[in-house]
């Protein structure tokens, strides 16, 4: 399942401008930081759960928060 999320993220990132790619990468990094902090892996989440986590991380990093 994690490979599915990762592959989708790569395809999505390839369609973005460089600054947008960096924002997506930072958001993914934040997702995995949060998962690690909670002692979870992406496999522990549903696709919808990962989408919610990603959205939270993405908008949080845009606002300069964690």
Residue 11 pLDDT grade (very low, low, confident, very high; cuts 50, 70, 90) = confident
Is there a contact between 24 and 12 (Cβ–Cβ < 8 Å)?
yes
50 C-beta neighbours (distance < 10 Å), count? 21
Domain count, the chain: 1
Q: What pTM, to 2 d.p., does this model score?
A: 0.71
Mean pLDDT, to the nearest integer, of 18-46?
Answer: 91
Taking 70 as the threshold, does the pLDDT of residue 2 lie above it?
Answer: no
| Pairwise pLDDT comparison (49 vs 15), residue with the higher score | 49
Domain containing residue 39: 2-62
33 is written with which tokens? 């930081």
């Amino acid at each position: 399942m994690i490979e599915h999320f990762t592959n989708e993220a790569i395809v999505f990132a390839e369609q973005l401008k460089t600054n947008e790619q960096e924002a997506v990468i930072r958001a993914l990094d934040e997702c995995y930081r949060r998962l690690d902090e909670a002692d979870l892996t992406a496999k522990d989440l549903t696709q919808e759960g990962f989408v919610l986590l990603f959205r939270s991380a993405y908008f949080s990093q845009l606002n300069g928060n964690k």
